[in-house]
């Protein structure tokens, strides 16, 4: 009982939040580079404020981030010291194809990831690679309008072929699109979409989502053709919705909200647009242009496993209910009176993880992989960079315990767990450095000042012991 012997313990990062080196090694510019910190960030992320190049009065944290581009060997050695079995990272598309539509890839970029994967191999760490984690070349946005254009499928296909071939034998686990459902809430971040006044945003978002869904099925097909050992997963920003009350209207709202997220995974895992989505699109007057082959492709090439992020549960209510709002992953939710929240207002709910796991497994009957989970918190290091992050340990151990219950008590198959931001990195939502998730502290502040020195937090030693005991010893040591 407990976690299976081959359970993949590890941590997760994304290129744009940790690599930096935005202009090194022939890399091109991407949407994620030109998202500033400060009050305009939200407008840029959602495509309301068109920012496709650097503007002088803004600070862009992804440009340098924590410079993992040059520190990756040191960082992977630290992951290995914790006993990581897997490391989730993403490829920066513009390292491989700086503009996105070139004929031939950039060798320096390909070599960078090859070196990185070989470094993982040295420590028997299995890479788990997100092909696009909120990442779209600027040239493809300027020239083609990002994922609103069907041509993106071809560019993405090319990227996939190149990386699947080059990294065959080094990488086996792939995720096609990070948090694919975020296209609805953060369309510039998720799909390089910007909008002109008067455009039907929903029409554009669902059409772009269709392109991503087709691209995802195509990637799954190619991955399996190139190497039958490849395992491809979808990736959902998950968290089941609770009904605010037992008022049937609230219950109905929560069901509708869940479907808003499940829609993507229903297509990627079950292989077709669900009937409720067809009705919803028709009601909104949205028509999805699709080719004859799309349906067959979606049907034939469903994912091997379901990966997801989980930070906090969500609540839905009808307009009749009088509710308060609180912050959540990229968009606000309703305040749940039974839960405590993080310093950023994200509600802490370990049982919600078990509920979400059960909901996902009941629906899809495929193995799950938790590829993001964690507590974003302010850390106060001592003069040696040591952080006594008992709050983080408490959050993580409660969530790991909930995972264990889902495995042991409910029979949910779980492939692995990569907690988010295993090394401190730039926050996707706010662009801050002070919102830290890591076991490893990085000396860098919100304005980009710091030595970049890495140091181990208390949670580093705690997670090491969790992995060494395969999740049996979750206790906090003094
Ligand atoms: C997910 C993303 O939305 O949540 C990550 O996949 C992100 O990129 C993470 O960093 C945590 O969110 P935040 O806003 O605290 O960085």
Q: What is the mean pLDDT of residues 134-155?
A: 98
Minimum CA distance residue for ligand 1 atom 8:
428
Alpha-carbon dihedral of residues 41, 46, 22, 137, nearest 10 degrees? -160
**224 pLDDT above the threshold of 90:** yes
**328 pLDDT above the threshold of 80:** no
What CATH number is associated with residue 25?
Answer: 3.20.20.80
Instruction: Provide the pLDDT for residue 443.
Output: 98
Q: What is the mean pLDDT of residues 40-64?
A: 96
Give percent of the chain with pLDDT exceeding 90.
95
347 pLDDT tier (thresholds 50, 70, 90): very high
Judge whether 93 and 110 are in contact, CB under 8 Å: no
**329 pLDDT above the threshold of 80:** no
Long-range contacts of 293-297 (CB under 8 A, 24+ apart): 294/210, 294/214, 297/214, 297/217, 297/218, 297/221
pLDDT tens by residue, 447-467: 999 999 999 999 999 999 999
Residue 53 lies in a domain: yes
Residue 474 lies in a domain: no
Q: What is the mean pLDDT of residues 267-272?
A: 98
Residue 473 lies in a domain: no
Closest C-alpha to 427, from 327, 355, 352: 327
Instruction: Provide the pLDDT for residue 1.
Output: 80
Residue 478 lies in a domain: no
Residue 477 lies in a domain: no
Q: What is the mean pLDDT of residues 335-361?
A: 96
**477 pLDDT above the threshold of 80:** no
Q: Measured in angstroms, how far is the CA atom of residue 198 from the centroid of ligand 1?
A: 30
243 pLDDT tier (thresholds 50, 70, 90): very high
Q: Measured in angstroms, how far is the CA atom of residue 246 from the centroid of ligand 1?
A: 31
| N-terminal to C-terminal alpha carbon distance within the chain | 28
Residue 476 lies in a domain: no
Give how many domains the chain has, as a whole number: 1
Q: What is the mean pLDDT of the chain?
A: 96
Q: Which alpha helices (DSSP H) does 196-326 contain, by range?
A: 201-226, 248-265, 275-284, 292-300
Residue 34 lies in a domain: yes
Instruction: Provide the pLDDT for residue 291.
Output: 93
The residue to mutate among 133, 235, 372, 424, having the most atoms of ligand 1 within 8 angstroms of its beta carbon, is 372
**476 pLDDT above the threshold of 90:** no
Minimum CA distance residue for ligand 1 atom 3:
329
C-beta 258 within 6 A of ligand 1: no
pLDDT tens by residue, 272-314: 999 999 999 999 999 999 999 999 999 999 999 999 999 999 9
Q: What is the mean pLDDT of residues 407-434?
A: 98
Q: Strand pairing partners for 8? A: 416
Instruction: Provide the pLDDT for residue 75.
Output: 98
Atom of ligand 1 nearest to the CA of 376: 15
Q: Measured in angstroms, how far is the CA atom of residue 429 from the centroid of ligand 1?
A: 6
Domain residues for the domain of 153 are 8-468
365 or 325: which carries more pLDDT confidence?
365
Residues in the chain: 478
Q: Which of 19, 253, 327, 372 is catalytic?
A: 372
Is 0.85 surpassed by the pTM of this model? yes
Q: What is the mean pLDDT of residues 365-378?
A: 98
Catalytic, 179? Answer yes
Minimum CA distance residue for ligand 1 atom 14:
429
- Which helix (H) or strand (E) is 290 found in, with range? none
The residue to mutate among 133, 329, 379, having the most atoms of ligand 1 within 8 angstroms of its beta carbon, is 329
319 or 386: which carries more pLDDT confidence?
386
Give percent of the chain with pLDDT exceeding 70.
100
79 pLDDT tier (thresholds 50, 70, 90): very high
Residue 3 lies in a domain: no
Atom of ligand 1 nearest to the CA of 426: 16
d(CA 176, CA 156): 10
Closest C-alpha to 304, from 381, 223, 382: 223
C-beta 27 within 6 A of ligand 1: no
Minimum CA distance residue for ligand 1 atom 15:
427
Minimum CA distance residue for ligand 1 atom 7:
428
327 pLDDT tier (thresholds 50, 70, 90): confident
Atom of ligand 1 nearest to the CA of 428: 16
Instruction: Provide the pLDDT for residue 447.
Output: 97
Catalytic, 103? Answer no
Q: Worst-scoring range by mean pLDDT, 121-125, 157-161, 327-331, 413-417? A: 327-331
Q: What is the mean pLDDT of residues 55-65?
A: 97
Q: Which of 126, 179, 212, 327 is catalytic?
A: 179
């Amino acid at each position: 009982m407990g976690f299976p012997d081959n359970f993949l313990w590890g941590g997760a990062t994304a290129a744009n939040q940790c690599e930096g080196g935005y202009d090194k090694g022939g890399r091109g510019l991407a949407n994620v580079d030109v998202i500033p910190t400060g009050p305009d960030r939200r407008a840029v992320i959602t495509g309301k404020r068109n920012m496709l190049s650097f503007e002088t009065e803004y600070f862009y944290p992804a440009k340098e981030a924590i410079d993992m581009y040059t520190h990756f060997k040191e960082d992977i050695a630290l992951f290995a010291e914790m006993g990581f079995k897997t490391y989730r990272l993403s490829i920066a598309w513009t390292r491989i194809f700086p503009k996105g539509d070139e004929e031939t890839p950039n060798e320096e970029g390909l070599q960078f990831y090859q070196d990185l994967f070989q470094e993982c191999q040295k420590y028997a760490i299995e890479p788990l690679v997100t092909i696009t984690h909120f990442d779209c070349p600027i040239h493809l946005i300027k020239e083609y309008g990002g994922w609103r254009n069907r041509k993106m499928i071809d560019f993405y296909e090319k990227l996939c072929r190149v990386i699947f071939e080059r990294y065959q034998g080094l990488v086996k686990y792939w995720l096609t699109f990070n948090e694919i459902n975020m296209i609805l809430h953060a369309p510039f971040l998720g799909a390089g979409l910007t909008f002109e006044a008067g455009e039907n945003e929903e029409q554009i978002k669902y059409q772009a989502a269709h392109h991503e869904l087709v691209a995802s099925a195509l990637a799954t097909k190619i991955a399996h053709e190139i190497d039958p050992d490849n395992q491809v997963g979808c990736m959902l920003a998950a968290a089941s919705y609770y009904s605010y009350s037992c008022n049937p209207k609230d219950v109905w709202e929560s069901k509708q909200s869940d479907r808003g997220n499940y829609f993507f995974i229903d297509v990627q895992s079950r292989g077709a647009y669900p009937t409720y989505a067809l009705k919803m699109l028709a009601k909104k007057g949205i028509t999805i242009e699709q080719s004859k082959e799309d349906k067959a492709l979606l049907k034939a090439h469903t994912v091997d496993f379901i990966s997801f992020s989980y930070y906090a549960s969500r609540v839905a209510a009808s307009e009749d209910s009088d509710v308060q709002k609180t912050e959540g992953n990229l968009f606000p939710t309703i305040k749940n009176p039974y839960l405590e929240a993080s310093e950023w207002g994200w509600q802490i709910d370990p049982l919600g993880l078990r509920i979400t796991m059960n909901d996902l497994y009941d629906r899809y009957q495929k193995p799950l992989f938790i590829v993001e989970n964690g507590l974003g918190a302010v850390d106060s290091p001592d003069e040696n960079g040591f952080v006594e992050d008992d709050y983080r340990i408490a959050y993580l151990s409660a969530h790991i315990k909930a995972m264990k219950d889902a495995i042991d008590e409910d029979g949910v198959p779980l492939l692995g767990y990569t907690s988010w931001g295993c090394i401190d990195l730039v926050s996707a939502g706010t662009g801050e450095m002070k919102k830290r998730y890591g076991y490893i502290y990085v000396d860098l502040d919100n304005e980009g000042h710091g030595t970049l020195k890495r140091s181990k937090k208390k949670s580093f030693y705690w997670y090491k012991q969790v992995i060494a005991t395969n999740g049996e010893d979750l206790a906090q040591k003094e």
